[in-house]
Structure 1
Amino acid sequence: MDTRLLGRSGFKVPVLGFGAGTFGGKGPLFSAWGDTGVAQAKRMIDLCLDAGVNLFDTADVYSDGASEEILGAALQGRRDAVILSTKTGLRLGEGPNDAGASRWRLLRAVDASLRRLRTDYIDLLQLHAFDALTPLEETLSTLDDLVRAGKVRYIGASNFAGWQLMKALSISQVHGWQRFVAHQAYYSLAGRDYEWELMPLGHDQGVGAVVWSPLAWGRLTGKLRRGEPLPGRSRLHDTAAVGPAIDEGRFYDIVDVLLEIAGETGRSVPQVAINWLLQRPTVSTVLIGARDEQQLIQNLGAVGWSLDAGQMARLDEVSRVDPPYPYYPYWRGQFSERAPVIADRGR
């Protein structure tokens, strides 16, 4: 398994990580994702480690903490062999302070995650969303304290807008605090909004993308075909309304090209979709999820080979969307011949 630096840090992560959102299965949303228990989690972790995938990502809100608990139990005896990533900031409790990124919340949340994960440190802690009510100085100084205390190694953000991420980086620089080295963001062939602002920012500021939902909320599995109904067991029956939106016509155009390239390469549609992401700028790691071992084995096959330049170009073209103002003039190269190079620049 190849590794890459996580943003502007010296920390190397595998190009594929495992997303443990399927662990636990509590609540209407996460039960639709999966209901993996400790025994199955151990088997899936074994498969990951055998393939060189040692990054495991979760969040305190996943199944009300059950995902962290199951991951922690399944990793007993091999903590030093893995990279643990978790997130906090979304509501977890009914109290007025049980959401957000205040000092009160962060200190309590990290201690709770450490207990559930059965560890004394978190390799990568990410804010699950931007907290507009808490001053960033309070949030970032607390994260710096957590790193200095040895409870956290590296910090990142998730689902931030460009201005939010840039403001946080600037404040950290001014005060000499730990800075975000990762941004966990949605990015897929069916959802390329990440490229408009967050990708150039990540390239300029050294923030590596930790990609979530590389298969577009389960749409790029190869099971959805033009003119056919959703498969009976598709989780989209329960989760489509809360996932990223996509134009149906454009989606099936993408699927058509994915099917063509899958036939040319002898690979599956998910493997082609993930391999495309691994060749995009600023991507440090792509998180793969799986409800069962067969899905996991399938997704692990996305590495060890590469799409050729022509196949990448076909996928780029069919999935391309012109961004809104003020991005589109730069994207089209109308203001400068150098402006849009990030879209095609290597890592």
Structure 2
Amino acid sequence: MKYRTIGKTGIQVSSLCFGTMSFGGNADEETSKAMFKRCREAGINFFDTANVYSQGRSEQILGECIADCRDEIVLTTKVFYPTGKDINAGGLSRRHIMLEFEKSLRRLKTDRIDFYFVHCFDENTPMEETLRALDDLQAQGKILYPAVSNWAAWQITKALGISAREQLARFELIQPMYNLVKRQAEVEILPLAVSEQIGVISYSPLGAGLLTGKYGVNKRPEQGRLVEEKRYTDRYTDEINFVVADRFNAYAAEHGLHPATLAVAWVMSNPAITAPIIGARNLEQLEYSLAAIDVDMSPEWRNEISSLSITPAPATDRAETLLPSWT
């Protein structure tokens, strides 16, 4: 396992992060703990969860897993999405952040969170309110660093400006969606991270299963997240994505690699990415993603794979402008 530094924090993390969204849901407790053990054997020290995964059960199981190795683990969790029917049981208000943070600590059986993510943007709460709450948690030693997921680059940049002006703890880790068919992060989020020396752990490297070899123009299984969950159906079922999946599957076969392994390796090869977040429902799925550790992808090889999908237009929308070499 290779290790990389998160931005300017000095914290060393494995080049793969394991996401525990399946814990207590698609993976029962026994399977979840077996996957955690396998990740540790592979050298992974970086684990991501959220307070809403499996209604908090993911945090509980992960808390049990890390009980005897907490100081060796870099741990993240998140806050934003509703955790109940009460009108205030969601968002990024100081009230919701403080209440949910304490619940996460109890479920995870820990005294601090290494990186605490705001899970999505809250248009009803001023950024200053949210950032001040996160700064207070850091000052209390309860979180080491604030982090941000699913915000646009302009929102992150605005927050960085507020943090600098008000001398508040700034975001040190960004979590965007990023895979071969969802490359919007290349336009502004990844350049922002490089410019400001912020770590990046990207999610969905397999495109909810689209890039695992199961899907294509004429390959549509009856089961799977792309079929069973509306958010993934909405996100990935444009016809062009299945065309890309076919191209990618053929390319992986030509190079003797499982598509899932190659998909994770492609994300990992982007210099702006600290660690892709991998996930799995079982040990068999996990092994395909772990195998990406052994794929040494050159920039030329990465560019070949990138050409299988559509490169997003640059931020200025001038197609003739060359994108920077890190893409």
Normalising by the smaller structure, the TM-score range is: over 0.9
Q: Structure 2: how far apart are the matches of 1:189 and 1:303?
A: 18
CA spacing shift, 1:210–1:128, aligned 2, 3 Å: same
Q: Using the TM superposition, give the Cα deviation of residue 298 of structure 1 relative to its aligned residue in structure 2, in angstroms.
A: 1.5
- Which residue among 226, 229, 250 is the counterpart of 1:260? 250
Q: Percent identity?
A: 35
Q: Using the TM superposition, give the Cα deviation of residue 247 of structure 1 relative to its aligned residue in structure 2, in angstroms.
A: 6.4
Equivalent position amino acid for 2:154 in 1: W
Do 2:180 and 2:309's aligned partners in 1 also have CA atoms closer than 8 Å?
yes
SS at match of 1:245: helix
Q: Which blocks of at least 5 consecutive residues in structure 2 are unaligned? A: none
Q: Using the TM superposition, give the Cα deviation of residue 93 of structure 1 relative to its aligned residue in structure 2, in angstroms.
A: 1.3
Do 2:206 and 2:264's aligned partners in 1 also have CA atoms closer than 8 Å?
yes
Structure 1 outlier segments of 4+, above 6 Å: none
- Which residue among 102, 105, 113 is the counterpart of 1:122? 113
Q: Using the TM superposition, give the Cα deviation of residue 304 of structure 1 relative to its aligned residue in structure 2, in angstroms.
A: 2.0
Do 2:226 and 2:232's aligned partners in 1 also have CA atoms closer than 8 Å?
no
Name the residue aligned to 1:306: 296
Q: Is 1:16 matched with 2:16? A: yes
Q: Structure 1: how far apart are the matches of 2:172 and 2:38?
A: 28
Q: Structure 1: how far apart are the matches of 2:190 and 2:84?
A: 34
SS at match of 2:229: helix
CA spacing shift, 1:319–1:53, aligned 2, 3 Å: same
Q: Structure 2: how far apart are the matches of 1:303 and 1:294?
A: 16
**Superposed counterparts of 1:285-304, under 5 Å:** 285-304=275-294
When structure 1 is superposed on structure 2, of 156-165 and 299-308 the one drifting more is 299-308
Name the residue aligned to 2:99: 108
RMSD over aligned Cα, in angstroms? 1.9
Equivalent position amino acid for 2:246 in 1: D
**Superposed counterparts of 1:1-347, under 5 Å:** 1-25=1-25, 34-37=26-29, 39-228=30-219, 230-242=220-232, 245-246=235-236, 248-323=238-313, 327-329=316-318, 331-333=319-321, 340-341=323-324, 344-345=325-326
Q: TM-score, normalised to structure 1's length?
A: 0.89
Do 1:35 and 1:291's aligned partners in 2 also have CA atoms closer than 8 Å?
yes
Equivalent position amino acid for 1:157 in 2: V
- CA-to-partner distance for each residue in 1:196-215, whole Å, 9 max, x for gaps? 12122112122222111111
When structure 1 is superposed on structure 2, of 180-189 and 300-309 the one drifting more is 300-309
Q: Structure 2: how far apart are the matches of 1:205 and 1:226?
A: 40
Q: Using the TM superposition, give the Cα deviation of residue 246 of structure 1 relative to its aligned residue in structure 2, in angstroms.
A: 4.1
Q: TM-score, normalised to structure 2's length?
A: 0.94
Do 1:147 and 1:154's aligned partners in 2 also have CA atoms closer than 8 Å?
yes
Q: Using the TM superposition, give the Cα deviation of residue 305 of structure 1 relative to its aligned residue in structure 2, in angstroms.
A: 2.2
Q: Using the TM superposition, give the Cα deviation of residue 244 of structure 1 relative to its aligned residue in structure 2, in angstroms.
A: 5.6
SS at match of 1:186: coil
Q: Which blocks of at least 5 consecutive residues in structure 1 are unaligned? A: 26-33
